[in-house]
Amino acid sequence: MTGVPSRTRSPDDDGQVLLLVLVYALIAVALLTVVASASSIHLERKRLLALADAAALDAADAVDVDAFYREGTHPGSGVPLTDASVRASVDRYVGLTGAAARFERFAVAPTTGTPDGETAEVTFLSVARPPMLGSVLEPFSGGVPLRVTARARTGLNGS
């Protein structure tokens, strides 16, 4: 039996497989935590964007009655909107839906209004907290800031 290598284990190899399994398990848990947190933030942003879309659609129908009766509509243009009519419609919609209670640090951005008198532009601000990383990241940040903007135009044309 000369020349055949021996297959005995060295005492230095004890515990190496256990360490490898623990490292792989830690990497898998970290990966799952990051994916779950990113998914949660993405879904929170989508919910906020859906609210902004609905508020913009509602605000696009918020006709400034004084401007409508004073100027009417012009061929090819929609119903006249003003910053005040859009903002009032958005504030009313947010109050009816209870958005401030559903989103953390919810706010309507000051840029909400109409850029051209025909388009309602709604911008909402909020903060999302990752479910698994929230307590770990809390000392470093107040959460992930979210900002969404939705635009809508009325379907009415004066043509």
Number of domains in the chain: 1
Tell me, yes or no, whether 138 lies in a domain. Answer: yes
In a domain, 147, yes or no: yes
Is 111 within the bounds of a domain? yes
Query: Is residue 14 situated within a structural domain?
Result: no
How far, in Å, CA of 78 to CA of 98, rounded?
A: 30
| Mean pLDDT, residues 117-126 taken together | 92
Residue 97 covered by a domain: yes
- Check: CB of residue 147 under 8 Å from CB of residue 121: no
* Rounded Cα–Cα distance for residues 43 and 48 (Å): 9
More confident: 20 or 49: 49
Q: How confident is the model at residue 158 (pLDDT cuts 50, 70, 90)?
A: very low
Q: For the ranges 14-23, 36-45, 121-130, which has the lowest average pLDDT?
A: 14-23
Helix (H, G, I), strand (E, B) or coil at 46: helix
Burial of 70 (0-12, 13-18, 19+ CB in 10 A): exposed
- Contact at 8 Å (CB) between 128 and 40? yes
- Tell me the average pLDDT across 85-89: 91
Residue 152 φ then ψ, to 5°: -150, 145
Residue at 134 is within a domain: yes
For residue 96, count other CB atoms closer than 10 A to its CB.
9
Paired tokens of 53: 């879309």
Q: Which domain holds residue 68?
A: 55-159
Cα–Cα distance measured from residue 140 to residue 120, given in angstroms and rounded to the nearest whole number: 36
Tell me whether residue 24 is in a domain.
no
Note whether residue 8 is domain-resident: no
